[in-house]
Amino acid sequence: MSDFLVANWYLFVLAIGSGAMLLWPKISAGGGAGLGGGARVSPNDAVMLINREKAVLIDVSDPAEYAALHATGSRSVPFANLESKDVPKELPKNKALPIVVVCPTGSRASRAVAALQKLGFENAKALAGGLAAWRAANLPVEKSAA
C-alpha cells in the first residue's frame, strides 16, 4: 500500500489541489459576509429577494450618477453617507430586511455592504456586476428629473 502512495504521490497532490480550488470561492467570499466584502447576488436573485422577501434596493452611487441612471425603485444613499456613524434616513428602519446594494460597476457596492453591516444591517448583499449587470439582464432603469 505504501508503494502505491509513493509511486502516485502526484495524484494525491492533484486531488487536494482541485478540492482547494473548488472551495476557494466559498472561502474568499466567506459564504456570506467574509473576506470578499460580503455576499453578492445576481440581478435575477436580487429581483427574487425584492419580490419574495421585500428586499430594499439601495444605490450607493454619487447623486449625479444616480440622477443619470439608476435601477427603478432604488433609493439613493451615496456611499459617503454610509461611512458616518448615523444611519441615513433612506435606509429601512427594520434592520432584518434584506438589502441589495447597487452601484455602476459593483465595486463600491461591496464596500458599502461592509459599511451597512457595521451599522447593523446583517442581511446586506452587493449586486454582482452592478448597474451594468442589471441592465444586461434587461431589468428596468430610469433617470431622475434634474
Q: Residue 144: what pLDDT?
A: 82
More confident residue, 120 or 28: 120
Q: What burial letters (b/e) apply to 65-82, b meaning 16+ CB within 10 Å?
A: bbeebbbeebbbbbbebb
State the residue for C-alpha cell 436573485: 45
Cα distance between residue 115 and residue 37, in whole Å: 10
Q: Which one from 103, 112, 113, 127 is the annotated catalytic residue? A: 103
pLDDT in tens, 2-60: 788 788 888 888 889 888 888 776 665 544 444 445 588 999 999 999 999 999 999 99
pTM higher than the cut 0.85? no
Q: Residue 88: what pLDDT?
A: 83
Q: Residue 87: what pLDDT?
A: 78
Which grid coordinates are listed for 61?
452611487
| Residue 12 annotated among the catalytic residues of the structure | no
Q: Residue 137: what pLDDT?
A: 93
Q: Residue 100: what pLDDT?
A: 95
Q: Residue 133: what pLDDT?
A: 92
Q: What is the rounded average pLDDT of the residues 112-116?
A: 91
Percent of the chain's residues with pLDDT above 70: 88
Best CA proximity match to 104, nearest among 124, 74, 146 = 74
According to DSSP, residue 81 is labeled H
Q: Residue 35: what pLDDT?
A: 40
Name the phi and psi angles at 140, rounded to 5.
-70, 140
Q: What is the rounded average pLDDT of the residues 82-100?
A: 87
Average pLDDT of the chain, as a whole number: 85
Q: Taking the CA of residue 50 as centre, how many other CA atoms within 13 Å lie in the half-sphere pointing to its CB?
A: 18
